[in-house]
Structure 1
């Protein structure tokens, strides 16, 4: 190969190819960028080990955390509007926990969607 041939390098979620620059989101860099809605439900990558809350809001009270979402990717039943969170919106997704199988809410900031609410997902 000659030096003037396009050289591609991938470094921490960035890909350089000639004069092109591709920047990926953290979810894409982790290979968890494919989310889809089917029959009103969401199937998507997410942060594992996050708490599921009784209501669509964070709480200082431990009893308001009803379960833990350990799976990734996960199934989400639907979405609701709740407390604004670090993701810059107030969308929360309802799902089942992995420890006690209780239903709870996880902030959209913990789900690797590109838009919230995710298109095609039913409102609870």
Structure 2
């Protein structure tokens, strides 16, 4: 298991009375394991959980979110989940758990994020894979 970033940035903790709002951040470059690039992200509160290679529950787990405020670069549809929709967000897990080639990049179901609505406005759809 490889730890990537288990410490949240200063000032990103949720307020005691509820989650902090999601923020679209321009000028935040990310490159995934395939070489795909994004120049922006959405920073949102989230719960810890598995990051899956694809947007369905039978997909292999490649990482784990351990922080509670994380960034996401795009979204796509997948398996329905307890959030009442089929939206999944693409990110890089804080910890690589399996398949190190993928560097922890994968999808989390929207119910693990504090996004509202789903998909979150300003976040692009992921290109088909």
Calculate the TM-score normalised by the size of structure 1: 0.68
Bigger Cα Rg: 1
Q: 2:109 aligns with which of 107, 110, 113?
A: 107
Query: How many residues of Structure 1 are paired with residues of Structure 2 in the alignment?
Result: 94
Residue matched to 1:44: 44
**Unpaired segments ≥5 residues, structure 2:** 1-13, 27-39, 97-102
CA-based RMSD of the aligned residues comes to 1.9
Q: Distance in 1 between matches of 2:44 and 2:63?
A: 19
Q: 2:93 aligns with which of 82, 94, 97?
A: 97
**Displacement of 1:28:** 7.4
Matched, 1:74 2:70: yes
Structure-2 change in CA distance of 1:114 and 1:51 (3 Å): same
**Displacement of 1:29:** 6.3
Residue matched to 1:31: 18
Structure-2 change in CA distance of 1:28 and 1:90 (3 Å): farther
Residue matched to 1:16: none
**Unpaired segments ≥5 residues, structure 1:** 1-26
Calculate the TM-score normalised by the size of structure 2: 0.66
